[in-house]
């Protein structure tokens, strides 16, 4: 039998990109490829890029440049670039002009056409000229469509991503997503339910619904459906699983959705609710479409419905025009809500967004000083909240070996807490299952649990 060609996908960015890469690999396997253990072993290398921050773009470009040597060693190697960075015309042109060894570039709305584009590359290689294929279509002319039933090569046997919608209509002034992912489009209600049911039937334990703004789900459907309706329908599926989702926009987080989560069987009391800033003036400049008081009321409503809810958020530090008073209001909101986790980022200008052209950019030194103060506050709050869990037993999904210590295993509680515990034979055997873990120590970002030993009863 002839040897099957090997493919390797390198992924940057968010969970949506990870889900896209699983679909792209599924398409490659259907085309007769097998997974390559490394780029050096591959006949095809695909770089799936991110455009949310400049650092991610520069890293993807740098690593793509490193593949030039592989191309020199193997002229038949197919090198492709896709994803959000590739969707930007300026970056696509940069690849065209500065990376002549790249064979294929395609945008985020052409994933289902990947096999067709790949065949075009193979045909192009036989031509004396124009041997490269660039296919980046603007979302205004090609808004993108759903092709249900595409094959998916899932990386995990127990944890799965399920995209329920794509794109965003919010146009926050700092964000490139609407330009590279297009407008909001929701998948059919029954198609999502069927996919999740199939995953549950196959024994998946953790299923995460994905979208740039998941709680805007259903607005583009006819008749319209709501995210709360979808969660309620999925929660009725029988099985031993949990259902997570990300990411929510505060303006679309309904009280109905909060009630569904509070009364669910399979949806943990865990919500990621990006704040970005506690200042009304900065929120207005960001075009976030809510103010600090309405956000605080929403957080209070979540706490009232679910006192044990794990709340996390995103904060942008140093948005153009942010004064010391604006930053102080952000610290006040953090102190009031008392998040379990805060993901803080220094503002990064994105070309093509309104905020990139604002004249009152904040000096880097000011941003880093504010970051230090914010992280110190968040560390104090998170440590106190985690310390309250010492001595308690948390039902947790064992994920695998720790990335930083080969003698430890990693798990995540149903409420989203990251837990490390000593590796034992029974612990390794428990990977991909829920087990009770007794917390013995706490840090600001992680918990430490007792080892699972052969004598411990794992029944719940």
What are the domain boundaries of the chain? 6-135, 154-268, 393-449
* CA torsion, ordered 304, 305, 309, 311, to nearest 10 deg: -70
Higher pLDDT: 148 or 229? It is 229
Residue 460 clears pLDDT 50, i.e. is over it = no
Cβ–Cβ under 8 Å, residues 213 and 172: no
Does residue 282 sit in helix, strand or coil? helix
Could you tell me which residues come within 8 angstroms of residue 27 by beta carbon, excluding any fewer than 6 positions away? 111, 114, 115, 150, 151
- Per-residue pLDDT, averaged over 379-386, amounts to 97
CB 143 within 8 A of CB 183: yes
pLDDT band at residue 128, thresholds of 50, 70 and 90?
Answer: low
Rounded to whole angstroms, the Cα distance separating 233 from 225 reads 11
| Residue from 182, 172, 183, 178 nearest 356 by CA | 172
Rounded (10°) angle between helices 292-305 and 255-262: 20
Whether 127 has a pLDDT exceeding 80, the answer reads no
pLDDT at position 275 is 98
Cα angle 370, 386, 257 (rounded to 5 degrees) comes to 85
Strand partners, 311: 271
Q: What is the pLDDT of residue 36?
A: 97
260-267: long-range pairs with CB below 8 Å, 24+? 260/228, 260/231, 260/232, 260/235, 261/231, 261/305, 261/306, 262/305, 262/306, 264/231, 264/232, 264/235, 265/235, 266/234, 266/235, 266/237, 266/239, 266/241, 266/242, 267/231, 267/235, 267/242, 267/243
The predicted structure's pLDDT at residue 458: 46
- Is pLDDT at 231 greater than 90 in this prediction? yes
The yes-or-no answer to whether 6-135 and 154-268 have a common fold is no
pLDDT above 70: percentage of residues in the chain: 95
pLDDT at residue 243, as a whole number: 98
Joined together, the tokens standing for residue 141 give 């002319």
Distances, alpha carbon 228 to alpha carbons 131, 235, 254, 263, 304, in Å: 49, 10, 8, 12, 18
pLDDT tens for each residue of 293-311: 999 999 999 999 999 999 9
Size of the chain, expressed as the number of residues it contains: 460
Superfamily of 6-135 according to CATH? Methylthiotransferase, N-terminal domain (3.40.50.12160)
Task: Give the distance, in angstroms, between the CA of residue 411 and the centroid of all CA atoms in the same chain.
Answer: 19
Q: In this predicted structure, what is the pLDDT of residue 52?
A: 84
Among 32, 11, 7, which Cα is nearest to 21's?
A: 11
Bond preceding residue 223 cis, omega within 30 of 0: yes
Q: Which residue has the higher pLDDT, 368 or 404?
A: 368
**Counting Cβ atoms within 10 Å, is residue 229 exposed (0-12), middle (13-18) or buried (19+)?**
middle
Instruction: State the pLDDT at residue 142.
Output: 67
CA distance 298 to 251: 9
Kindly tell me if the per-residue pLDDT of 457 is higher than 70. no
| 456 pLDDT above the threshold of 80 | no
- What pLDDT is stored for residue 134 in this prediction? 87
- What are 167's two structure tokens? 């794109």
Which of the pair, 148 or 251, is modelled with greater confidence?
251
- Determine the pLDDT at residue 144: 61
Q: What is the pLDDT of residues 249-266, one digit of tens each?
A: 999 999 999 999 999 999
Question: Comparing 16-30, 51-65, 108-122, 305-319, which segment has the lowest mean pLDDT?
Answer: 51-65
Token pair in block for residue 358? 């604002």
Give the burial string for 163-186 (b: 16+ CB within 10 Å, else e). bbbbbbebebbbbbbbbbbbebbb
**Non-local CB neighbours of 97 within 8 Å, separated by 6+ positions:** none
Q: Which string of b and e fits 423-432 if b means at least 16 CB within 10 Å? A: beeebeebbb
Strands (E), 73-177: 78-83, 104-106, 133-135, 159-163, 165-166
Does the pLDDT at position 129 exceed 80? no
The DSSP code for 414 is: T
Residue 186 near residue 221 (C-beta atoms within 8 A): yes
Q: Sorting pLDDT into bands at 50, 70 and 90, what band is 42?
A: very high
Into which CATH architecture does domain 154-268 fall?
2-Layer Sandwich (3.30)
């Amino acid at each position: 039998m002839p040897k099957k060609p090997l493919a390797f996908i390198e992924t940057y960015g968010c969970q949506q990109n990870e889900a896209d890469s699983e679909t792209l690999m599924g398409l490659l396997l259907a085309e007769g490829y097998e997974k390559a253990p490394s780029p050096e072993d591959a006949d095809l290398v695909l770089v799936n890029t991110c455009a949310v921050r400049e650092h991610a773009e520069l890293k993807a470009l740098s690593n793509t440049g490193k593949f030039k040597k592989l191309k020199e060693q193997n002229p038949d190697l197919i090198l492709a670039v896709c994803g959000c960075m590739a969707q930007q015309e300026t970056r696509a042109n940069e690849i065209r002009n500065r990376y002549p060894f790249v064979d294929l570039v395609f945008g985020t709305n052409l994933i289902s056409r990947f096999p067709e584009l790949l065949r075009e590359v193979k045909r192009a290689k036989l031509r004396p000229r124009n041997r490269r294929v660039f296919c980046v279509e603007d979302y205004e002319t090609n808004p993108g469509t759903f092709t249900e039933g595409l094959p998916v090569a899932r990386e995990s046997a127990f944890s799965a991503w399920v995209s329920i919608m794509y794109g965003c209509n919010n146009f926050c002034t700092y964000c490139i997503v609407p330009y590279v992912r297009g407008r909001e489009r929701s998948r059919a209600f029954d198609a999502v339910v069927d996919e999740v049911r199939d995953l549950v039937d196959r024994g998946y334990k953790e299923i995460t619904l994905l979208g740039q703004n998941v709680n805007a789900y259903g607005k583009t459907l006819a008749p319209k459906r709501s995210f709360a309706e979808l969660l309620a329908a999925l929660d009725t599926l029988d099985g031993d699983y949990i259902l997570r989702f990300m990411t929510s926009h505060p303006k679309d987080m309904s009280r109905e959705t909060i009630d569904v989560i509070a009364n669910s069987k399979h949806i943990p009391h865990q919500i990621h609710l990006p704040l970005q800033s506690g200042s009304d003036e900065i929120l207005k400049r960001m075009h976030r479409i809510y103010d600090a008081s309405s956000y605080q009321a929403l957080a209070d409503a979540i706490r009232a419905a679910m006192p044990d809810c794990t709340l996390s958020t995103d904060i942008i530090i140093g948005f153009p025009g942010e004064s010391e008073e604006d930053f102080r209001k952000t610290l006040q909101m953090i102190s009031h809500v008392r998040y379990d986790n805060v993901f803080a980022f220094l503002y990064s200008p994105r070309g093509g967004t309104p905020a990139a052209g604002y004249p009152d950019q904040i000096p880097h030194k000011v941003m880093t000083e504010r970051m230090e103060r914010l992280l110190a506050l968040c560390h104090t709050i998170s440590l106190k909240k985690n310390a309250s869990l010492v001595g308690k037993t948390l039902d947790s999904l064992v994920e695998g070996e720790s990335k930083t210590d080969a003698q430890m295993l990693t798990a995540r509680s149903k409420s989203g807490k990251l837990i490390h515990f000593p590796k034992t034979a029974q612990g390794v055997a428990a990977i991909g299952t829920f087990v009770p873990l007794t917390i013995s120590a706490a840090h600001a970002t992680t918990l430490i649990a007792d080892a699972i030993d052969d004598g411990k009863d794992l029944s719940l």
